[in-house]
Amino acid sequence: MTLHLIQSCNPLLIGQLADVADTSDALVLLGKSCLLASVWRLALPELPLFMRSKDAEVNGQPAAEGVQLLSDVEWVELTLSHNKTLSWID
């Protein structure tokens, strides 16, 4: 059960992550990766998808359907509820 922290706007990353993701994993969009929220949702509909509220606000990106906004406290709680985290940065 891995929490994938996405910090990239590179759409090629979606395919790379799809190759290693498990159905028990979850994704968190951080920073400018919020701009691709709807693309991530369409590409990996079986995985829970989260977006940090502050990053969504800064980037002018409202939550897409199926994307849950997280406060910083909720982000920490989500991180602690997973066995490991993996950061994806370009």
* Domain boundaries along the sequence of the chain: 2-7+23-89
**The overall pTM is greater than 0.85:** yes
Amino acid at 69: L
pLDDT tens across 50-79, in order?
Answer: 999 999 999 888 878 899 999 999 999 999
User: Hey, which CATH number is domain 2-7+23-89, 3.40.50.10210, 3.30.300.30, 2.40.30.110, 3.40.1260.10?
Assistant: 3.40.1260.10
Q: Which two tokens stand for residue 70?
A: 């997280």
Q: Can you tell me the distance from the alpha carbon of 82 to that of 90, in angstroms, rounded to the nearest whole number? A: 23
Instruction: Give the whole-angstrom CA distance, residue 79 versus residue 90.
Output: 21
Q: DSSP label at 82?
A: S
Mean pLDDT taken over the chain? 93
Cα–Cα distance, 73 to 78 (Å, whole number): 9
